[in-house]
Amino acid sequence: MKRIKALFLSVLALPVVAHATVPTGVETVFTSAATDFGTIVGYGWTLFLVIVGGLILFGIVKKVISRSAGR
């Protein structure tokens, strides 16, 4: 029991870790990077949807042509 008390007290006595202040321009850089990343992801989704939509449309056109040809 004494060991548990000693361990508990030693954990409580651990120093609190101090965090350094962030330089002033860093927040601006990260905000700008997050905005740019969001824009790039938006363009990527648009491109992805165009490609997938084109493939689906190609498949539909292929079926219509094959049915109209009597196959």
Which tokens hold the place of 6?
């000693």
Give 1-33 pLDDT, tens digit per residue.
777 777 766 766 666 666 777 788 888 898 899
Q: Judge whether residue 41 has pLDDT over 90.
A: yes
Percent of the chain with pLDDT over 70: 83
Q: Is the pTM of this model over 0.75?
A: no
pLDDT of residue 63: 92
* More confident position, 30 or 54: 54
Per-residue CA distances from 56 to 15, 52, 67, 68 (Å): 61, 6, 17, 18
